Amino acid sequence: MKNDTTNKPYINELVINWHITEACNYNCAYCFAKWGKPNELHRSLEEIEKLLDNLALYFINGQSRLKSELGYETVRLNLAGGEPMMLGSTFFIILMLAKQKGFKTSIITNGHYLVNSRLDFPKNLLDMVGISFDSQDLITRKKIGRVDRKGNSLSFEDLKVALEGLIETQKGIKTKINTVVNSLNYEEDFSSLIGELKPYKWKVLQVMPYGADDLLISNDKFNQFVERHSGLGLPIFAESNSTMTESYLMIDPLGRFYQNSVNACGYKYSDSINQCGVERALSQIAFNPKTFFSRYCQIDIDVLES
């Protein structure tokens, strides 16, 4: 996309991903959300509000460098984990505060608590929901680790119920399905499932090398999966390992920016945002606005070179 007045690339929305907790009821073998169970920021309402104020002041109300480079109009705070809905009422409080401070809101969830929660989801708190769903086969989901201690796993029917419930209670919500393509599911056909659910976006991600090595796949196999589902009218967005590097704005449970790197293993962390401020913390990690822009500017993803 191009801005008609400046002729510079621009996106409508900047997305900040806050991984609010490491806790999760599933045990996915490829999960990268491991921080050593720190004293997570969400335990203090004061720290939560301070972080949201800092982010809103810089990204929404201020004239940040990224706003100049990307020309975004709105900022969406995406809550992830772990499983963010495990925080119960605190999770809803964070969403409400974010809304009050001018953020669009979204969550990435495994969907379990959308169909098994004792708490009703308050109306009109979410602008987008992403539900992670890796396989239509229960045995495959168990091998991946998409199952809780009691053996429960989100089925296709559960997925439909979860989405229908949110569409009823969250006015104008956009729905997204996330699928991590790995050695156990890369030959699976998702076309009927996605065609029936009709999400706004289906994001397919090549499994990252931060978990079990036996789940890793080559670029060739990932591309085969993408090619097989392309040209069918599906809203497919494909992200390889290289596309996901330095292209996300991520905050960890301690309230620090963190980032993966092209030349190093693991993550690089900033100082605490609440202690040093957004601008200084952001300068301490690598973030590539051009790669970020490329993830949002098109729906027909070219298959990546091997």
pTM of the entire structure?
A: 0.89
pLDDT on residue 39: 87
Q: What is the mean pLDDT of residues 80-104?
A: 97
pLDDT on residue 247: 63
CA distance 21 to 197: 28
pLDDT band per the 50, 70, 90 thresholds, residue 103: very high
Q: What is the mean pLDDT of residues 15-22?
A: 95
Q: What is the mean pLDDT of residues 202-206?
A: 95
Q: 246-305, pLDDT tens digit by residue?
A: 568 999 999 999 987 655 567 889 999 999 999 999 999 887 766 666 655 543 333 333
pLDDT on residue 291: 67
> Residue 301 CB: number of other CB atoms within 10 A?
17
133 phi, psi to nearest 5 deg? -145, 115
Close Cβ partners of 242 (under 8 Å, ≥ 6 residues apart): 304
pLDDT on residue 47: 98
Q: 209-222, pLDDT tens digit by residue?
A: 876 789 999 999 99
Helix (H, G, I), strand (E, B) or coil at 1: coil
pLDDT on residue 261: 63
pLDDT on residue 305: 33
pLDDT higher than threshold 60 for residue 239 = yes
Taking CA 300 as the corner, what is the angle to CA 296 and CA 305, rounded to the nearest 5 degrees? 95
> Residue 271 CB: number of other CB atoms within 10 A?
14
> Tokens 């070179």 label which residue?
305
pLDDT on residue 293: 66
Residue type, 199: P
Label residue 17 exposed, middle or buried (CB < 10 Å: 0-12, 13-18, 19+): middle
Label the pairing between strands 267-272 and 104-109.
Answer: unpaired
pLDDT on residue 137: 98
For residues 162-177, one letter each, b for 16 or more C-beta atoms within 10 angstroms of the residue's C-beta and e for the rest, the string is bbeebeeebeebbbbb
Q: Are 205 and 178 in contact (CB under 8 A)?
A: yes
Query: Two tokens at 258?
Result: 């963190």
pLDDT on residue 9: 58
CB under 8 Å, gap of 24 or more: what pairs does 48-51 form? 48/93, 48/94, 48/97, 49/97, 50/274, 51/251, 51/255, 51/273, 51/274
Most confident of 67-81, 124-138, 199-213: 124-138
Label the pairing between strands 256-260 and 249-251.
Answer: antiparallel
Q: 161-173, pLDDT tens digit by residue?
A: 999 999 999 999 9
pLDDT on residue 34: 82
pLDDT higher than threshold 50 for residue 1 = no
> Tokens 């401020």 label which residue?
277
19 strand-pairing partners: 80
CA distance 24 to 37: 11
Q: 148-160, pLDDT tens digit by residue?
A: 999 999 999 999 9
Higher per-residue confidence, 303 vs 226: 226
Q: Are 287 and 259 in contact (CB under 8 A)?
A: yes
Q: What is the mean pLDDT of residues 234-253?
A: 81
Q: Distance between terminal CA atoms of the chain? A: 26
Q: 29-77, pLDDT tens digit by residue?
A: 999 888 887 789 999 999 999 999 999 999 999 988 888 888 889 999 9
Most confident of 9-23, 29-43, 83-97, 290-304: 83-97
What domains does the chain contain, in order, with CATH numbers? 13-296 (3.20.20.70)
CA distance 306 to 218: 8
On the CB side of 74, CA atoms within 13 Å amount to 13
Q: What is the DSSP letter of 213?
A: G
3-state secondary structure 71-110: CCCEEEEEEECCCHHHHCHHHHHHHHHHHHCCCEEEEEEC
